[in-house]
Amino acid sequence: MTAEARGIVAIIEPADGPAGALTAEVLGVARRLGNDLNEPVTAVVLGETVAEVGPLWEFGADKVIRVVHPLLAEFNLDAALGALEPLIRRENPNVVLMAHTFQGRALGPALAFRLQTGVATDCVDLRPGAGGGSLVLTRSILGGNFRAEVVIDTRPQIVTLRPKAFPPAEPTPGRTGTVEEFRPEPDPVRVRQEVRRRIQEAAAEGVRLEDARIVVAGGRGLGGPENWHLVEELASALGAAVGASRAVTDAGWVPTSLQIGLTGKTISPDLYIAVGISGAVQHMAGVSAAKTIVAINKDPDATIFRYARFGVVGDAKQILPALTREIKKALGKA
Ligand SMILES: Cc1cc2nc3c(=O)[nH]c(=O)nc-3n(C[C@H](O)[C@H](O)[C@H](O)COP(=O)(O)OP(=O)(O)OC[C@H]3O[C@@H](n4cnc5c(N)ncnc54)[C@H](O)[C@@H]3O)c2cc1C
């Protein structure tokens, strides 16, 4: 695609909806870029049904394009590519943004391949290049140990954004823009997938891990699923969400939806309490935005203590019941 490419396209996560947290984050980045580069912002919504567009304007979109086709009722990568490739060619944007989610991590690179352009995935920061040139995109690499700055010379620059790494857009109530509909005709031969059933992950009781201000997470150091209630009890006393290391989810003690880390969820709580978790780099990749980390581990040399502001060295099975009891007392819940 050509050098005259102009505009920022934000692809909205269908599962998140027009007023969702990811939508606000992606549009927040899009709007700031649009202002910095003086380019318009277009929000693209995929879906069979006609989505509500008001929040997208309020979050900063100048134009909303609803991409409507029955195959887009559920996320189907082949159908989404069949719809987006002609749309992006027509719009010829400078930048295409989307969240680095289950959907975005598949869609971003595949779309880049179709358009023969560059993609930077899982970006944690970005800024306009000098003199209005290509964006400088920061990726967290090697399990979060290093950061790489990437520049894409081709257009559009396709970027997937790590959830929670960017501040959400502040809505401007009453802000409006334009809306149009795009009815793609995906080539049936290239749509090789069929989405038969979508299973909603069982909603965790209480606070959602991604939104929680306090998270208590357990690891292999708990010894077995029979001790997991200790993590839940502490979380309940604190009004916290429960998370887990991959060692624990792989072992089947708790559902995968609780996994925090590189291949799990990214969280940004004010307080993160890690119990019996060693602090492997892949785990810490998911908690790098936590403000205060407290670690409970029986090994004084455990890596987690390097990240923790407060640490308790000891057996979690003894410490957790006592801690829960004291917290309940302090909060008047005993
Ligand atoms: C590609 C890739 C992706 C990965 N993605 C993730 C991911 O998303 N999330 C993730 O978590 N991991 C991930 N991992 C796995 C990661 O490398 C670690 O293996 C995992 O995080 C270890 O989990 P753990 O800390 O619970 O277990 P361990 O490393 O076994 O640590 C257990 C800790 O408990 C302590 N302990 C033992 N007994 C007690 C006790 N009684 N009281 C208190 N402490 C005790 C030990 O001292 C130890 O520090 C990934 C790995 C790879 C290769």
Q: What is the CATH number of the domain that holds 134?
A: 3.40.50.620
With the most atoms of ligand 1 within 8 angstroms of its CB, the residue from 216, 222, 226, 246 to mutate is: 246
pLDDT at 143: 66
Query: With 80 as the cut, is the pLDDT of residue 37 above it?
Result: yes
Decide if 229 is inside a domain.
yes
Q: Give the domain range for residue 321.
A: 209-330
Write phi, then psi, for 260 (nearest 5 degrees): -110, 140
CB distance 313 to ligand 1 below 6 Å: no
Give the model confidence (pLDDT) of 46-76 as tens digits.
986 656 889 999 999 999 999 998 888 888 8
Q: Is the pLDDT of residue 78 over 70?
A: yes
Tell the residue nearest (CA) to atom 36 of ligand 1. Answer: 221
In which band, very low, low, confident or very high, does the pLDDT at 255 lie, cut at 50, 70 and 90?
A: very high
Domain closes at, from 159, 190, 221: 190
Q: Is the pLDDT of residue 243 over 80?
A: yes
Please report, as a single letter, which amino acid is at residue 39: E
Using the mean position of ligand 1's atoms as its centre, give its distance from the Cα of residue 263 in Å: 13
Going from the Cα of 136 to the center of ligand 1, the distance in angstroms, rounded, reads 33
If phi over 0 gives left and psi between -120 and 50 gives alpha, with beta otherwise, what is residue 281?
A: alpha
Task: Give nearest CA residue, ligand 1 atom 14.
Answer: 282
The token duo for 191 is 């749509």
Average pLDDT, the chain: 91
Identity (one letter) of the amino acid at 13?
E
Identify whether the C-beta of residue 235 lies closer than 8 Å to the C-beta of residue 213: no
Q: How confident is the model over 198-212, as a mean pLDDT?
A: 72
Residues ≥6 apart with Cβ < 8 Å to 111 = 81, 84, 85, 88, 96, 119, 158
Tens digit of pLDDT for each residue in 170-181? 999 999 999 999
In 30-118, the DSSP E strands lie at 41-46, 63-67, 95-99
- Structurally, the chain folds into a number of domains equal to 2
Q: Are residues 173 and 247 in the same domain?
A: no
Q: Who has greater pLDDT, 202 or 235?
A: 235
Asked whether the beta carbons of 223 and 320 are under 8 A apart, the reply is no
- Residue whose Cα lies nearest atom 41 of ligand 1: it is 315
